[in-house]
Amino acid sequence: MKNPSYFLDMPENRSSCVVFSSPHSGRDYPEAFLKRSVLGSDVIRSSEDAFVDQLFASASDFGAPLIKAAMPRAYLDLNRSADELDPALIQGAKRQGHNPRVASGLGVIPRVVANGRAIYSGKLTMDEARLRIDTYWRPYHSRLKALLAESHAKFGQAILVDCHSMPHEAVAMASTARNTRPEIVLGDRFGASASTEIVDRIEAAFSTAGLVVARNAPFAGAYVTQTYGRPGRQQHAIQVEIDRSIYMNEDTISPNANFMAFSKILQQVIAEIAEIGSEPQRLAAE
């Protein structure tokens, strides 16, 4: 299924309450956008979670839907609030207190890509900003909300797995309790967006696959986990960040020699996570 703002892979039999979401893997770059940008086509892709949608493509095989962005993060960031408008980029946008994401140029319509490189030479109009939000942001989140509501209605709970990738340099200074660099970072906003049991089981799925896992450092989750994580209402949201260097060449933005092997590892992890969501009665009672 396709909407201008997203692609949706639905399972033939929805046997899991888990919903997988990939909000930063979009790569439909409008020609007008590329012409307007001062960046080259390779540089502008540097903030994209390239190939994450492909890595999680097997979700529907295990009874869970996968919703994935069509538009790229540099054009519109689905992991931001629609109100996070950057006055330094958008004409007429008002300052709304200190917001570190907006201040750094990473609002709902980004001003910069990775390493602070400016996308535009001038400002955008408020009408253009609103058009992007109305055309792409609102349909994506409307469908995501509906998927979670459907899971909750059918299974008594909903588990959102928000799928991302992180630059290798982002974890270069991070370490786990074993003093090893994490390959996977799970974000549950320090326990606010998901139950400990569910996060423990997701961590175990990655760890059993031989991956080094950390929690909430350096990424604890952003708008999606903050908005949709309501563990008291049996709706859980967990952000998953994967070290890009495991499966891709970050300089050329292309799959590396390990891509297929890692995809197979992830397939087993996805199956185990989906299995968590096939036990609604036991988990919903706790």
Nearest to 166 by CA among 4, 18, 50, 17: 50
Contacts of 252 (CB under 8 A, 6+ apart): 42
Ramachandran area for residue 190 (φ above 0: left; ψ -120 to 50: alpha; else beta): left
Averaged pLDDT for residues 220-246? 96
- In the DSSP assignment, the letter for residue 175 is -
Contacts of 178 (CB under 8 A, 6+ apart): 212
Alpha helix (H) residue ranges in the chain:
31-36, 52-55, 100-103, 126-132, 138-155, 196-208, 223-228, 259-276, 280-284
Segment among 140-149, 167-176, 185-194 with least mean pLDDT: 167-176
Segment among 108-112, 172-176, 260-264 with least mean pLDDT: 172-176
Q: Report pLDDT digits (tens) over 115-139.
A: 899 999 999 999 999 999 999 999 9
User: Does residue 285 carry a pLDDT above 60?
Assistant: no
pLDDT band at 196 (very low <50, low <70, confident <90, very high): very high
Partnered with residue 215 across adjacent β-strands are 186
How many CB atoms neighbour CB 281 within 10 A? 9
% residues pLDDT > 70 (the chain): 93
Place of tokens 């709970």: 157
Regarding pTM above 0.85, the answer is yes
Element housing 96 (H / E): none
Tell me what pLDDT residue 215 has.
94
Contacts of 123 (CB under 8 A, 6+ apart): 89, 90, 91
Residue 147 in contact with residue 19, Cβ under 8 Å? yes
Tell me what pLDDT residue 4 has.
82
